[in-house]
């Protein structure tokens, strides 16, 4: 079964284009300098439409997660993490933690992780793996 994939909209296209070329793109307000996610063409902190797109460091910490023991049919059959990481730049995003056992022992809160991309047809999804792994 094919994996459920995002369908980009005009407001999010830059993010998904970035993933395809290995860049995690965030947006930042040029007025108040707030970084934010998910993408939108204005700053959610101050309402300014003057925003810029930039390449994030890809560094984050594991903020919270579950290990789903009843995976969706398109996600395979083994238990897998569904996580939220806190990016170095501030925003949080949902992801999967890859490149390590999907166990509570291997998935410690606050451990450093870094972005890695996996391509599924026309879409590349941003995953995170333990830093340096």
Partner 1 sequence: MKPGSIAVIGAAETTRLGKIPDMSVIGLHADAALNALADCGLTAKDIDGVATAGESPVAIAHYLGITPTWADGTAVGGCSFMLHVRHAAAAINEGLCKTVLITHGESGRSRVGSGGFGRAPSSLMGQFEMPYGVTSPPTMFTIPVMRYLKTRGYTEADLAMVAVIQREWAAKNPRASFRDPITVDDVLNSPMIAWPFRMLMCCLVTDGGGALILTSAERAKDFPQKPVYILGTGESVETPMVSQMEDFNSSKAFRVSGKKAFEEAGITQADVDHLMIYDAFAHLPLYGLEDLGFCKPGEAAGFIRDRHTAPGGKLPLNTNGGGLSYMHSGMYGMYALQESVRQMRGIAPAQVPGAKIAVSHGVGGMFAASGTVIFGNET
User: Contact positions toward partner 1, by CB under 8 A?
Assistant: 3-9, 12, 16, 37-38, 63-72, 74-75, 79-80, 82-84, 92-96, 104, 109, 123, 125
Q: In the complex, what is the shortest distance from the CB of residue 117 to partner 1, in angstroms, rounded to a whole number?
A: 12
Q: Any alpha helices (H) in the chain, and if so which ranges?
A: 13-20
Residue 18 structure tokens: 């970035």
Q: How far apart are CA 120 and CA 124, in angstroms?
A: 6
Q: In the complex, what is the shortest distance from the CB of residue 127 to partner 1, in angstroms, rounded to a whole number?
A: 8
Q: In the complex, what is the shortest distance from the CB of residue 131 to partner 1, in angstroms, rounded to a whole number?
A: 19
Query: Tokens 């995976």 sit at which residue?
Result: 71
Q: Which is nearer to partner 1, 5 or 100 (CB)?
A: 5
Residue 108 structure tokens: 């410690």
């Amino acid at each position: 079964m094919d994996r459920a994939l995002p369908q980009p909209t005009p407001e999010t296209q830059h993010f998904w284009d970035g993933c395809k070329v290995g860049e995690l793109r965030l947006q930042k307000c040029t007025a108040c300098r707030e970084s934010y996610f998910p993408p939108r063409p204005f700053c959610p902190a101050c309402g300014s439409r003057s925003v810029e797109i930039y390449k994030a460091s890809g560094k984050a910490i594991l903020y919270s997660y579950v290990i789903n023991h009843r995976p969706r049919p398109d996600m395979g059959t083994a238990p897998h993490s569904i996580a939220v990481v806190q990016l170095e730049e501030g925003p949080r995003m949902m992801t999967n933690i890859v490149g390590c056992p999907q166990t509570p022992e291997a998935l410690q809160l606050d451990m450093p992780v870094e972005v890695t991309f996996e391509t599924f047809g026309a879409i590349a999804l941003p995953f995170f793996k333990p830093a340096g792994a």
